Amino acid sequence: MSWKYDGAGQADATGVEYLDGLYSYALVLTRNHAEAEDLVQETYVRAIPAMGRLRAGSNTKGWLFTILRNVWLNQLRKHRNGPQMIEIEVGDGVANNIVEPSKDSHDLYVSKLEAEQVRAAIQELPVDFREIILLREYEDLSYQEIASVLQCPVGTVMSRLGRARAKLRVLLSPTLKGFARPK
């Protein structure tokens, strides 16, 4: 995230490219839209004053995800009641509505059902598995970056990711077999 001072007292934020990823991660942690929005906002409130102290070439994305997770953990400790288990509604985003001309209607239908099944299965995972799947598969963070965000060894990241993927396979195997194209 970089900030430019324009001389007239205005700061220009050019690091909003992480906003969607941070929100997705916050949603995985909180399972609540309003709480996720608050968590992202608090992340930026804490990050902005420290921006000037970042060195050139710093891993800003990893740093922001670490701040978000720490804010969330602090909130959990403060409330002492753990994350609320609230079902989230997964709406059709713009990305889900893009039609690929090479796919016929059956393929599009199957793709949509598979995506819904994967999202539902991810929501069934424990929070440790949900967050590691999101950070690796959706945010494309490296094992080292994930280890830094989660404050654990790289080996733990690798084993937890392996267990999370295995659990997802078990959850998804019976449902996805039914979507095969009829011959």
Give the C-alpha separation, 71 to 80, whole Å. Answer: 14
Domains of the chain in start order, with CATH, are 1-85 (1.10.1740.10), 102-183 (1.10.10.10)
Encoded amino acid at 43, one letter: T
If pLDDT is split at 50, 70 and 90, which confidence band does 13 have? very low
Report the share of the chain in percent with pLDDT over 70: 73
Instruction: Please report the pLDDT score of residue 87 as a whole number.
Output: 46
Q: How far is CA 177 from CA 47, 171, 173, in A?
A: 45, 12, 6
Mean pLDDT of 17-35: 91
Q: Which residue has the higher pLDDT, 171 or 99?
A: 171
Closest CA to 22 of 156, 158, 141: 141
Instruction: Please report the pLDDT score of residue 89 as a whole number.
Output: 47
Q: Kindly state the helix (H) or strand (E) to which residue 156 belongs, with its residue range.
A: helix 154-176
Instruction: Please report the pLDDT score of residue 111 as a whole number.
Output: 74
Compute φ and ψ for 14, nearest 5 degrees: -115, 10
